């Protein structure tokens, strides 16, 4: 009798691990391949949050299922339902945190880029963005530019909001433009690749230059947890993001 119960417990645990693995595979796709393409996962605590999700789904959930499993089907259904709901809430919260903290835009302002997350902006103006700049739940980061207004009065207010209120201009959706409109300015502000050797091991810079031979310059990318570098070609277009430091 005992071995029969253990067998049923292991069967229930096996099914839970199976559907939990499918769930984690879907989350992994969205998180690491879509929302936080490498190396952007290093700009936030993505690995830690995903690790908690994996712990809940592959360790704690199955362990509780094994402990709670009983032959009394009525009680079993209630126990498993409660556990499933708690697990679902924990997972939903984790996915919500990852979605809200994802780098939805990489915004060029003046002389560098900044990571902007959904949680950073008022999304009410999102529907007024050019189609090329709209970043949805099913898209990765969009690279755009934030441009100060040509109207002197509005421009002054934008500057005051930055200086007095500490409001990052990169988070102003109404100021977004297609990146190509600022190509000339990006070319002007681009820094020499050799300058990266001041802040990074020379072998790392050399390996990056070899891998991305079309890169002729770079600009800093300000992240939430780690700052990186955006590599540019001679036309001022973005080639890739490199996990190199833009300053000490």
* Residue 7: Cβ-neighbour burial (10 angstroms; 0-12, 13-18, 19+): exposed
Going from the C-alpha of 85 to that of each of 45, 92, 93, 218, the distances in angstroms are: 25, 10, 12, 48
pLDDT score at 15? 80
The listed range with the strongest mean pLDDT (34-38, 128-132, 199-203) is 199-203
pLDDT score at 2? 52
pLDDT score at 179? 93
- Positive or negative torsion for Cα 166, 134, 208, 180: negative
- Average pLDDT across the chain, whole number: 87
Least confident of 45-49, 142-146, 241-245: 45-49
pTM, rounded to two decimals: 0.84
Residues 181-193 have a mean pLDDT of: 95
Domain ranges (residues) in the chain: 2-100, 103-179, 190-248
DSSP state of 231: E
Q: Tokens for 216, please give them.
A: 């002729």
Q: CA-to-CA distance for 37 and 23, rounded, in angstroms?
A: 19
pLDDT above 60 (res 222): yes
High-pLDDT (> 70) share of the chain, %:
92
pLDDT digits (tens, 9 = 90+) for 116-172: 998 888 776 666 676 677 777 888 899 999 999 888 888 888 888 888 877 889 998
pLDDT digits (tens, 9 = 90+) for 63-108: 877 777 776 666 667 777 777 788 888 888 888 989 988 999 999 9
Helix axes 2-28, 61-68, angle to 10 degrees: 160
Residues 206-230 have a mean pLDDT of: 94
Report residue 7's pLDDT band, with 50, 70 and 90 as the boundaries.
Answer: confident
Residues forming a β-bridge with 109: 112
The listed range with the strongest mean pLDDT (17-21, 55-59, 98-102, 211-215) is 211-215
Q: Judge contact between 49 and 94, C-beta under 8 A.
A: yes
Torsions phi, psi of 48, nearest 5? -65, -45
Q: CA-to-CA distance for 233 and 240, rounded, in angstroms?
A: 10
């Amino acid at each position: 009798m005992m071995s029969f119960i253990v067998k049923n417990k292991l069967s229930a645990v096996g099914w839970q691990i199976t559907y939990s693995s499918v769930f984690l595979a879907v989350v992994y796709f969205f998180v690491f391949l879509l929302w936080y393409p490498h190396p952007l996962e290093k700009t936030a605590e993505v690995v830690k949050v995903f690790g908690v999700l994996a712990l809940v789904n592959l360790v704690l959930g199955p362990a509780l299922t094994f402990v709670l499993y009983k032959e009394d089907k009525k009680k079993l259904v209630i126990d498993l339902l409660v556990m499933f709901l708690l697990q679902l809430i924990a997972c939903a919260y984790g996915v919500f945190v990852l979605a809200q903290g994802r780098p939805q835009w990489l915004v060029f302002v003046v002389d560098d880029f900044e990571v902007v997350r959904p949680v950073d902006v008022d999304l009410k103006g999102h529907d007024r963005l050019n189609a090329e700049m709209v970043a949805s739940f099913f898209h990765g980061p969009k690279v755009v530019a934030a441009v100060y207004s040509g109207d002197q009065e509005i421009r002054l207010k934008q500057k005051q909001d930055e200086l007095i209120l500490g409001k990052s201009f990169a988070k102003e959706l109404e100021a977004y433009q297609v990146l190509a409109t600022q190509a000339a300015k990006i070319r002007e502000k681009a820094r020499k690749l050799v300058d990266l050797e001041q802040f990074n091991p020379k072998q790392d810079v050399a390996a990056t230059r070899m891998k991305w031979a079309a890169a002729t310059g770079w600009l800093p990318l300000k992240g939430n947890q780690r700052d990186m570098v955006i590599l540019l070609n001679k036309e001022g277009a973005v080639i890739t993001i490199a996990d190199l430091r833009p300053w000490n």
